[in-house]
Amino acid sequence: MRLWRKGCIVALFLTAPILGFSASCTTQGEMTPQDRSTLASQGERLSIAILQQDMGTLQSALLPSLSSEWENIRSAVEQAAPLVKGGSVQLRNLYLLDASTLSAQADTQFFCSSANGSLTVTINMRSLPPGRYALILADAPGATLAGQIGIILAWDTTSGPVAGWRLGGVSVRQGNFDGHDGVWYWTRARDLQIPVDFLSSPNLEKLSQEQTQIKGAPINAFPYTLASGDRNWKIDSVRLDATLRQPDLAVTYESVGASDPAVARTEAMAVLSALLKAQPGLRQNFHGMWAYASINGKVTPVIELPMAQIP
């Protein structure tokens, strides 16, 4: 999930080392009734504005310090229109994030645990200034593409005498691919024992915990080494890629670093072909594949092909 804030992209991940630990998270079940009601009301109002493409409501709610980012947010909302078309708003999760004790802007990590401690969601924010924030997750049931909405709110004390929650970022992603939601793809990926990393399921927290408990879990397959003829290919990751709004797989592999585009394409084709031969079940379960070459830590897209065009 990527959210615009202060000219940077704030990324929400489940895992990754990060700096800055002077922060706390309160889940909706542990919030005061007033906080829960306020965030739910604001989240529903802004989510409806996204569904209705109500730019006036969204712009009026924008954090003043983000006024220069309005066009980026507008563009993100406009691009989200087909993802939520025909849907309604259903709030899923509310998180209250307190980073007011930070001494300076920093990459910050929030641990959000359920009341009984059985589930923990980790939220990572890049270059976060000290302050109070909220994350609202909502779904658009009824929409053909089952859009999933993420909204960041920031507590603003600069807009007049009364402090309040203001819009800090918006992200909308597709939740349904080729008639299936993230749970279906998670199940298929687990059955195929191929490493897949994505954040598209409404049951995000449960699935994340489940993955760590699977014996021989797919995530433990990294790096995944394939042999093809006299070559060995090392795959660093395989994840769901919805760039084309199709259930594609993005494959990141360690490249030899060829500068010739034709040679790089040939290498990418060989990697994808080797993966499909090792995991033939992928052909009938996904639309196509993207190849990403990793060279000394730098990842570059090389090619995208439907399954039928990969030998």
Tokens of 52: 């209705």
Least confident of 169-183, 210-224, 238-252: 210-224
Ranges of each domain in the chain: 2-174, 180-309
pLDDT in tens, 31-90: 999 999 999 999 999 999 999 999 999 999 999 999 999 998 999 899 899 989 999 999
Q: 99 near 130, Cβ under 8 Å?
A: yes
Quick one: tokens of 308? 């039928």
**C-beta of residue 123 within 8 angstroms of C-beta of residue 112:** yes
Rounded-to-integer distance, Cα 269 and Cα 230, Å: 16
- Residue 113 is predicted with a pLDDT of 79
Nearest to 124 by CA among 111, 108, 143: 108
Q: Are 173 and 79 spatial neighbours (Cβ–Cβ below 8 Å)?
A: no
At 118-168, the pLDDT tens digits run: 567 778 888 889 999 999 999 999 988 888 999 999 999 886 666 799 999
